[in-house]
């Protein structure tokens, strides 16, 4: 596994390299510009990111990095964040938050945890995870219920066509299966889109698949 070390601080880089010695191959970047280039080109498994890296603009830059290399696990090193900021960083997808003066022995533990697919997160933040989970689940259930209510407005035939669309069937195939014309299928779809407040069959397929999955 390749680990990309992004910092312009020589002491920090040295501690990281010491901690990772024999565990993984490493490469380094000393600015945000070179980091983005290496991230795209090398696709490292893990990125150690110094929050004081030249060119890094807080949360926005980290969001950018996550979008550039979705599979790379990002671990941030900083002097310490307030809970709210650290929580926001985890919510956009970072995998760990460490103090910038972590010693090699601690770096070893971090890499062990992150490699196992776990998070390096303070215990005091885990309660937020559960609270957020409750909130997200409530919201998801609310949306599913709203969609179910909308689906109840569909006629039996419209529902049938919506289910066939979710299987990926074309208008022609649906017409053949239901022994109706393609024009009638299109008319039904127009009515389905209107009732569900959506604009295309891809969204319809996604909605139907979610409904099937949750029921």
Partner 1 sequence: MHSITVAIVDIGQDQQRQMPINDLLRHNGDQIELLVDLSSDGAQSTERRCTVRDDLSFVENAIARIRRLNPQIVLMNTGQTIQECCDLLLALQDQCPDTQALLVIDEDIEENDLIKALACGARGFVTENLESLDFSKVVTAIDRGEAWVSRSMTAKLMHQIVAGARDFAEANVDSAG
Task: Tell me the three state secondary structure of residue 94.
Answer: coil
**In the complex, least distance from residue 88 CB atom to partner 1, rounded to whole angstroms:** 11
For residue 90, give both structure tokens.
């985890």
Task: Tell me the three state secondary structure of residue 133.
Answer: helix
Question: Contact between 124 and partner 1 (CB under 8 A)?
Answer: yes
Residues 168-207, one symbol each (x = binds partner 1 by CB under 8 A, - = not), give -----------------------------x-----x----
Please give the residues from 66 up to 95 whose contact with partner 1 meets the rule CB under 8 A: 90-93, 95
- H helix or E strand, kind and range, residue 73: strand 73-78
- Taking CB under 8 A as the binding criterion, the range among 6-14, 55-63, 128-136, 160-168 that sits at the site for partner 1 is 128-136
The residues with which 49 forms a beta bridge, in sequence order, are: 6, 76
3-state helix, strand, coil in the chain (%, to 5): 60, 10, 25
**In the complex, least distance from residue 119 CB atom to partner 1, rounded to whole angstroms:** 5
Radius of gyration of the chain (CA): 24
Residues in contact with partner 1 by CB under 8 A are 90-93, 95, 113, 116-119, 121, 123-124, 126-127, 129-130, 132-134, 136-137, 139-140, 143, 197, 203
């Amino acid at each position: 596994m390749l680990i990309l070390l992004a910092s312009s601080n020589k002491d920090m880089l040295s501690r990281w390299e010491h901690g990772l010695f024999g565990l993984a191959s490493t490469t380094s970047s000393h600015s945000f510009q070179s980091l983005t280039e290496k991230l795209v080109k090398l696709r490292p498994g893990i990125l150690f990111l110094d929050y004081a890296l030249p060119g890094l603009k807080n949360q926005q830059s980290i969001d950018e990095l996550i979008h550039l290399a979705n599979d790379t696990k990002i671990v941030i090193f900083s002097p310490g964040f307030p809970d709210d900021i650290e929580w926001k960083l985890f919510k956009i997808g970072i995998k760990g938050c460490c103090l910038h003066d972590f010693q090699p022995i601690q770096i070893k533990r971090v890499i062990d945890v992150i490699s196992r697919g776990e998070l390096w997160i303070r215990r005091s933040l885990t309660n937020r995870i559960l609270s957020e989970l409750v909130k997200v689940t409530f919201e998801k259930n609310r949306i599913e219920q709203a969609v179910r209510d909308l689906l109840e407005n569909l006629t039996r035939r419209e529902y049938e066509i919506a289910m066939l669309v979710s299987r990926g069937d074309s208008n022609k195939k649906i017409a053949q299966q239901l022994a109706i014309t393609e024009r009638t299928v299109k008319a039904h779809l127009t009515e389905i889109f209107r009732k569900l407040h959506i604009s295309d069959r891809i969204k319809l397929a996604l909605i139907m698949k979610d409904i099937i999955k949750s029921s």
